[in-house]
Homo-oligomer: A and B are copies of this chain.
Amino acid sequence: MSVDDGHYRPTYNDIHKLIGNSAKKIRDEFKPDLFVAIGGGGFYPARVMRTFCKTPGRKNIPIQAIGLSLYEEMGTEDSTQEKLGKEIVRTQWLDFSTLGKMSLLGRRILIVDEVDDTRTTLAYAISELQQDLEKQLAALPEEKRKTIPKTEFAIFVVHNKLKEKAASLPSDIMYFSGEDLGDVWVDYPWEMLDIDKHEELAAAQKKLRAEQQS
C-alpha cells in the first residue's frame, strides 16, 4: 500500500485533539445541554465531546443516540428517490419515553457525527428534529409557549469535506467542524482491522506532508 494513496488517516489521538479544540469554541459560543449522536460514526466523537464539555461538579451532558442509514448503504437497490426523507432509514430515534414528551423545548442541542460528506444525513436529522420540536410546541397553550426560550440546534462533525453538498442546512444553525478537508477518502481508526499499520501509514503521511511543505 502506497503512503500517497489519497486516503487521509487521522489517528485516535489526532481526532481526540480535534474534538478538544472544537469543544472550547462550542462551549463558549453554543453551550450545549444535550448531545444527539448520529450512530455509528457519531458515537465516539459524542463521547469525547462530553468529556471536553463537562463542567466539574456538574452532571454530564446527556447523550441521546439516533441511528440513520442511507438506503444505498443498506443494500437496497432503489436509491433513486428524489425526496430526501426517502433516502434515509431511521434505525433508532430519540427516546421520548425517557427524555420526556416536551424534551426538546428550550434545549441547546448539539448534533454530532464523524463526517459531513454529502450533508444528506445531517439535513435529515435537523429537519426531523425540528418537526418533533414543532409538534411539541404546538401541544402547548400559547401563553406557555411564550415563556420557553428558543430551542437551538448546532452541528459538530469531526471532518467537513469541502465539496458540493446534496442538501443544505437551515441558515440559523451554528456549524462546527474539527477540520475541513478536500474530497478525500478518510480512514477512521475505528474502521481499521490493523491499527498499528494505520498508525504507521499515518506517521509516514505526516512526514511526507511536512517534507513537501518545507
Contact = CB atoms under 8 A, between A and B. Distances in A.
Contact of A51 (B51, B59, B94, B191): B191
Contacts of A67: 62-65, 95, 98
Interface stretch (A36-44, A147-155, A161-169): A36-44
A196 B14 CA distance: 10
A91 B190 CA distance: 25
Interface residues of A, number: 44
Interface of A: 11-13, 16-17, 20, 37, 39-41, 43-44, 46-48, 50-52, 59-60, 62-65, 67, 74-75, 90-95, 97-99, 189-193, 195-196, 199
Contact of A65 (B17, B39, B199): B39
A173 B91 CA distance: 26
